[in-house]
A = this chain, B = another copy of it.
Amino acid sequence: MKTLRVAGLMSGTSLDGIDVAIVEISGRGWSKRIRTLAFHTVPYPEAVRQAILGVSNTTTHTAVISRLNFLLAELYAEALRETARRARIRLDSIDLIGSHGQTIFHEGAPVEFLGRRIASTLQIGEAAVLAERTRIPVVADFRPRDIAAGGRGAPLVPYVDYMLFRHRKLGRVALNIGGIANITAIPPSAGPEDVIGFDTGPGNMVVDALARRYTNGRWSYDRDGRLAGRGHVNRQLLDRLLKDPYFRRPPPKSAGREQYGAEFVEQLLQTGLPLLDLIATCTAFTAAAVAVGIERFVRPRMPVDELIVSGGGVHNRRMMAQLAAFLPDVNLATSTDYGVDADAKEAIAFAVLACESWRRRPANLPSATGARRAVVLGKINW
């Protein structure tokens, strides 16, 4: 099959900005080869970050959602253009774009609404604008179809993790620490239906919010885990946080900004603990939630030989050290060690998912999302 040059755009719940990966995808089915040509992150302007927060899971005017939907796509197009320019890649050499969009609401489990049980998800970043600015076909809006098929619309990356990291003899867990942390557990010699995938709980978003507060907005995250290193883990608070019934609920399950957003942070602040201790504790909380998820729901079903970490969390030394401490018998690595840039992995994943949609291939893993069947994800904008 023809090699496709695909751009993957990801902007996660951490609201850092827009991750752009440009990759070449060759081969077919599960044996695809993925070569990363470029990766670059363009931070959101602060006003845009605030605007996204102002429409995410909150009360707002429809006009703001509509305008922001179109505006974000202008930024996506510019971020892609800049990434291509830096890497000296001609825009018109790119065959396809996969754009995740910005999630402003996600409710993977059905709730009662006007007399029906409705699950839903809402991503913005109008793909028609991105397609028009770049003149490249865009696949976007990957999550709704999985929800329509009875899934939780997340996690979607396990499909790509399985493609990249499956091993004949080793049990591997791919862990992405973005705003939320999620794992893909792949037993030795697994088929796609054997993959376990779920959100373990918070990733960086709680620590980010606290770091921003501690530095009066000068830092948008805890660089290298330095702030966490200056605080003490409050054991009592950590135990209390881990009592959340979410951690006992078996997968498939997904977490979101709703769970670890402003309200959650407000409750932490009300403990009266020093900010640095809160940062240390929440850093440990992320690592502990990963460990708990693995111990409870992965180990009973497969050997866990390697933990392959990606996402912003890999740069947080404290968090990585705690992961190693909580999972002493697991070989800890980053996806970069396996040839997949740890910062770029999610963006790369949406390039791969776009490629599948473009070829009309299903790309959700029902074992990870809970969907009744595998479905072709996304919407195509020619």
Chain A residues near B (Cβ < 8 Å): 45, 47-48, 51, 55-63, 65-71, 73-74, 104-105, 107, 111, 113-116, 118-122, 126-129, 131-133, 140-141, 144-145, 147-149, 357, 360, 375-376, 379-382
Contacts and interface: CB of A to CB of B under 8 A. Distances in A.
A58 B68 CA distance: 15
B148 A131 contact: yes
A128 B71 contact: no
A56 B360 CA distance: 34
A47 B122 contact: no
Contacts of A131: 145, 148
Contact of A69 (B122, B126, B357): B122
Top 3 closest pairs, chain A to chain B, by CB: A132-B148, A379-B379, A128-B144
B63 A57 contact: yes
Contacts of A144: 70, 126, 128-129
B61 A114 contact: no
A65 B66 contact: no
Contacts of A145: 128, 131-132, 381
A379 B376 contact: no
B59 A120 contact: no
Contact of A65 (B47, B62, B379): B62
A353 to B, nearest CB: 13
A67 B111 contact: yes
20 contacts: A59-B59, A59-B60, A59-B61, A60-B60, A60-B62, A62-B104, A65-B122, A66-B107, A70-B118, A70-B147, A71-B114, A71-B116, A71-B118, A74-B118, A120-B126, A126-B144, A126-B148, A133-B148, A379-B380, A380-B382
Contacts of A122: 62, 65-66, 69
A128 B105 contact: no
Contacts of A45: 114
A62 B105 contact: yes
Contact of A381 (B58, B71, B73, B379): B379
Contact of A120 (B67, B104, B148): B67
A369 to B, nearest CB: 13
Nearest to A123: B66
A107 B148 contact: no
Contacts of A119: 70
B63 A114 contact: no
A52 B338 CA distance: 49
Q: Which of A56, A115, A120 has the most CB of B within 10 A?
A: A120
A217 B210 CA distance: 52
Contacts of A114: 45, 47-48, 51, 68, 71
Contacts of A149: 132
Contacts of A118: 67, 70-71, 74
A74 B69 CA distance: 24
Contacts of A57: 62-63
Contacts of A69: 120, 122
A49 to B, nearest CB: 11
B71 A62 contact: no
B62 A141 contact: no
Nearest to A113: B67
A66 B47 CA distance: 24
Given A65-B105, A360-B382, 4 more contacts: A66-B105, A68-B114, A120-B126, A132-B149
A256 to B, nearest CB: 12
Nearest to A372: B132
